[in-house]
Each structure stands twice: as C-alpha cells, then as structure tokens.
Amino acid sequence: MSEIIVDRDVACELRDGTTLYANVYRPARGQYPVLLSRLPYNKNLPAFSHRYVDPFRLVEAGFVVVIQDVRGRFASEGTFEPLAQELADGYDAVMWASRLSYGDGQVGMFGLSYYAFTQLFALMERPPALKAIFPAMTGSLEADSFWRNGVFELVAAETWLLDSVAPDVLARRLEREEYAEAEKVLTKDLEEIEAWHHVRPVCDWPPVMKHEALQPLFQNFLAQRFREPIANHPEHMNGTYDFNIPAYHLAGWYDNFLGPTLRNYERLQASNPHQKLMIGPWGHGQFQPEQGERFFGLHAGGDAIDGQGDLTDQHIHWFRCFLYNESPGEEPPVKLFVMGDNVWREENEWPLARTVYTPLYLHSSGQAGFSSEDGVLSWEAPGVEPADGYVYDPDNPVPTLGGGTLFFAGRNAGPRDQRPLQTRPDVLTYKTIPLSTPLEITGWVTMQLWAKTSGVDTDFTAKFIDVGPDGTAYNLTDGIVRVSTAMPDADDVSRELLELEIDLWATSYVFQAGHALQIEVSSSSFPRFEPNLNTGSTMLESSTAAPVEQTIYHDTHRPTHLILPVIPRP
C-alpha cells in the first residue's frame, strides 16, 4: 500500500447530539474494514493511543484504523461518566464507523484495559456492524473493576483516578490560570501518592477534596453509581451473554485483570467457538520479558512471541480471519506461557481438560514427617493438630510486595522475593519438602480455608509461592476474601466457624526439582487492598479500626487446603 492518510479530529455525532473526535489512519484509496479503538487517555499520545499495536502496519494489512477519545475526554464533548456511558456510545461509535466512506461496513474493535471495556460494553448493545473484537487485560462484563470479592482495590483506584483521570477533568473545567495552579498541586500529590494511600476515610481523600471539580466524579465512583446501568442491563438480568462474536482475549499472569479476562474467555466461548486466548508472563500493559525481579527469556516478550511475530501480527491475523474471511488454520485456541520451564505452549481449551485437581493440605510445624519452624504443606490430609493464630491490626497491615498490581508508574508489580514479609508475626507460611521431580501447576488455584475471627468482620488472604533451592520465594498468584461478603447472612461472624473459599485466580508454573511450594496466609495486602477495619465499616467511610485475633484450623474436621490444578507430565 503506497500511501497512508492520517485524518485528525474526525467528528462522530452520537444520538444525543454529543460529538466525539477520532484520528483516522487509512489507505488513500478504496474501502476497507474498520478497526476501532475507544480510549479516555488522549488519542494524540502514542504511548496511550495505540500502545502495543502499530496502526500503520494495520493499514498496510488492509484496514482503516480509528482511534477515538471517549465522551468527556480530551477532544470529545460531554461529561465523562466512566464505564456506563460506553454502552450507548459504543453502539453509536461502531455504527458511525461502519458508515465511513472509506469503510466497507464491517467493524472490529481492539484495545487494552479501559479500551477493552469499551469493546465489551459496545458488544452488550449488539451493534450489527461489529464483527470481531480483541480485548486485552480487562475487567469483567459486570464492570466490577477496583473491587475483588467485596474488597476495594485501593491502590489501583486511587492511582487511576489521580494519574489517568484527574488531569483532563481539571483542564476541561478550570480556566487556564486556575488549571496551572491545580496542576502543580496534582503533580505534587502524585509524587507523594504512596503516603496518600494511608489516609482514611477514602471518601474524604485530600488529593481529591483539594479540587472541587473532581468531587462529583469521585463520589459517584466510590458509590459505584457508574455500574448501575450495566448491572441493570438486560444482558446481566437474564445472565445469558449470548453474544456470538469472535474474540481474542489477551491476558498476563501478573495482570491485575487476569481473573476477569480469563472468565470473559470462558463466557464468550459458550456462544461462539471462535475465541482465542493468549496468556503471557506479563503485568498490566507491560509486555517485556522481564517482570518484577524475574527474567523469562527473550521470547517471552510481546515483540517476539515464541521467537516469531509480535502483538501487531496477532491483531492482523485475527481480524483478517473474520473481516476478510481468511482461514484461521489449525492453530489451537489457547497459547500460554509456562513459567518455570519458560516456554510457550498451545492448548485446545481453558481450563486444560487433563487437569487433575489435587488438594495440598496445611499442617502444623513439625508435622508430615519433617521438621520446620514454619508450617508444612503436604499431600496427606491432616489429623489431630493444633490451630495457628495471629493478630491482625489494620493500623499495621502487611505491605503489598509485587503481584498483579496497578501502582503509579508501574511500581511494585510482578514476581518479587517474599522473604521480607515472612518474618512478620501476622504472616503464616506453610511449605512442602523440596520436590524430587518437576511439578506443573496450570489453571485456577483456590484455597478452602477454615478459620475464626474475634471481629465483626475481617479479611483473609492467601499467596501461592515458589521457593527455590537458594531460599528465594517468588509469588505466583494470590487472593483475598471478605467474610461479610462471603457470609452475608451471618448474624455474628465472631461466633461462627468460617468455612471460606479464596480464589487465587490462575497461574502456569513448573516447580523444578529442588524447589518447594509455599503458601502465605494473612489478612491484608496494603495498599493493594483497603485494610479491613474489623469494625463492620470500611476504609471508604471510616477511620476507626480494631485489631482482631485470627485462628487458622487444619485438622481432621477442618482440613484447610489448596486445590491445585496439577498437569500430568510425560
């Protein structure tokens, strides 16, 4: 293709008269399928507008590329109301794109994070021109981002609001001189955001309260009012999600949206067999082969997947299959990176059909045949054993150390050595003996936990870890459960024996010979999650906290254990 035209600020009028603006990359002549991406982070900034996808290569492959500012952001008109607005606006934008004079009437959508939400919510409105999507690292169809099992994901929410949303909100609502002063304050607060994470209640969070223009959006966000149109949407009310559309789901083992992305794949697969899933050893929007403190090999990166093409190539192949009716070939639908072995592998399904779900039990120290100062993990069920306990104090929560996080500037993410946390009295650790042969764990990981608390409400956390022969303890995946969410009908949780399930999401990891499996049990990971105040109130509306005594049982009648997706190996 000899010539590529870039049209800037192309107007798209919505049904209510609001105009959105887009940049269009297109061939100089002819009509082609349109690939649409809708974002709230400025279509004119290359680091955000197309990120890991090259629009010029998409045009060369026979597509028109449209990158649009969503309602109320940057060039587009209107007031920004996160998520909910993308239902009707998504439908209108898709149908507008299908009518462009240089389009052929077909539309595909692509993008990561919020740009993937815009795909899912447009899909819920079923625009007839939408033929295929490529959602990457995104939340669920329920739009429950920033909450996990009833727990507020504090650092992700505060970072997103202050870093990604606030600057343009202030720029649109303030006069130039006012904005110049507000921007200085905002910049200073962003530079000190780690200290601001400690401030409660969140409803009075000073970095927002300093700016009157931010307060309505912040209050609606905390109250989850933006979710109401989505929760009341007919697709949710009937629970079918029968969308019948090809979708390529891109995920990362250390992404903060890993669980929802995998469940989106499972749900959409039920109505359309043309689903594809790729899971790399990546963090949120981070496709480098080095994540956290580990390097997974050059072929782990998004620019040379398995030593072959990059993520733009994946988009070209996917959309040519469904917008040009090209054969997808015999390629299996799932491609995942197996950490530990550090290789890519193709699979026919997710979860893997050959999975053997196997319990791994917690024991007291010195049990299961070997001596240890810490607790023990064993494939054998426990007998008569004493419980373990600790005091959880919300004023001294366990610090977050890596994982699927969304910190400012990508800090504190990925696999990191957990040993600094394991000397704390409120962190219980349980470990197997070193393995004699490799063991593969690929799939969903859960914990069945029997516990007791002295509080009226509390949280429990679990973290799954690989311990190397040198003692390094790298986190793989983790989870949290809030008792009041898990047991909404309990009159007094402090009087109850708590039988809880902790969803640790998923991983794919080969524990090599000489390595050990480890689990950490505690009650907090701050500031990734808001600490439970143990009072029945949350950090969102209260500052008063109380320490509680936590008891973890692992005996014949209360056998706390992991359920691991073991993959048989030749």
Min mean pLDDT across 9-18, 192-201, 329-338 is at: 329-338
- Asked whether the predicted pLDDT for residue 368 surpasses 50, the reply is no
Tell me the two tokens of residue 118.
Answer: 């815009």
Amino acid at 5: I
Rounded to the nearest 5°, which phi and psi values hold at 335?
Answer: -130, 120
- Asked whether the predicted pLDDT for residue 475 surpasses 70, the reply is yes
Query: Are residues 324 and 369 both part of a single domain?
Result: no
Q: What is the pLDDT of residues 192-213, one digit of tens each?
A: 999 999 999 999 999 999 999 9
Query: Are residues 320 and 262 both part of a single domain?
Result: yes
Which residue among 191, 223, 255 closes a domain? 223
Q: Rounded to an integer, what distance in angstroms lies between the CA atom of residue 509 and that of residue 261?
A: 19
Active site residue: 211, 233, 249, 284, which one?
284
Query: Are residues 138 and 157 both part of a single domain?
Result: no
CATH number at residue 394: 2.60.120.260
Query: Are residues 361 and 507 both part of a single domain?
Result: yes
Query: Are residues 504 and 538 both part of a single domain?
Result: yes
Residue 363 catalytic? no
Query: Are residues 269 and 202 both part of a single domain?
Result: no
Q: What is the pLDDT of residues 296-318, one digit of tens each?
A: 999 999 999 999 999 999 999 99
Query: Are residues 294 and 419 both part of a single domain?
Result: no
Q: Rounded to an integer, what distance in angstroms lies between the CA atom of residue 248 and that of residue 348?
A: 14
Specify the DSSP element, H or E, that contains 81.
none
Query: Are residues 436 and 396 both part of a single domain?
Result: yes
pLDDT value for 237: 61
Report residue 1's pLDDT band, with 50, 70 and 90 as the boundaries. Answer: low
- Gyration radius of the chain over CA positions: 24
How far CA 285 is from CA of 115, 142, 293, in Å, comes to 12, 21, 17
Tell me the two tokens of residue 171.
Answer: 């720029």
pLDDT value for 367: 52
Which residue among 347, 378, 413 closes a domain? 347
CATH number at residue 113: 3.40.50.1820
pLDDT value for 373: 67
Average pLDDT of the residues in 343-359 = 98
Query: Are residues 214 and 257 both part of a single domain?
Result: no
Vertex 270, ends 266 and 273: CA angle to 5°? Answer: 95
Residue 255 catalytic? yes
- Classify each residue of 237-274 as buried b or exposed e, where b means 16 or more C-beta atoms within 10 Å of its C-beta: eeeebebebbbbbbbbbbbbbbbbbbbbbebbbeeeeb
Query: Are residues 390 and 519 both part of a single domain?
Result: yes
CB 338 within 8 A of CB 508: yes
Average pLDDT of the residues in 539-555 = 97
Name the 3-class secondary structure at 288: coil
- Asked whether the predicted pLDDT for residue 562 surpasses 90, the reply is yes
Active site residue: 76, 98, 113, 523, which one?
113
pLDDT value for 370: 42
Q: What is the 3-state secondary structure (H, E, C) of 168-185?
A: HHHHHHCCHHHHHHHHHH
pLDDT value for 327: 84
Query: Are residues 213 and 237 both part of a single domain?
Result: no
Residue 113 catalytic? yes
Indicate the number of domains in the chain. Answer: 3
Active site residue: 54, 89, 255, 388, which one?
255
Which residue among 347, 376, 405 closes a domain? 347
Report residue 233's pLDDT band, with 50, 70 and 90 as the boundaries. Answer: confident
Domain of 128 in residue numbering reads as 4-144+228-347
Average pLDDT of the residues in 26-34 = 97
Q: Rounded to an integer, what distance in angstroms lies between the CA atom of residue 264 and that of residue 276?
A: 11
Query: Are residues 509 and 364 both part of a single domain?
Result: yes
pLDDT value for 271: 85
CB 532 within 8 A of CB 489: no
- Asked whether the predicted pLDDT for residue 348 surpasses 60, the reply is yes
Q: What mean pLDDT value characterizes the chain?
A: 95
How far CA 242 is from CA of 89, 274, 436, in Å, comes to 21, 13, 47
pLDDT value for 81: 94
> Is pTM beyond 0.75 here?
yes
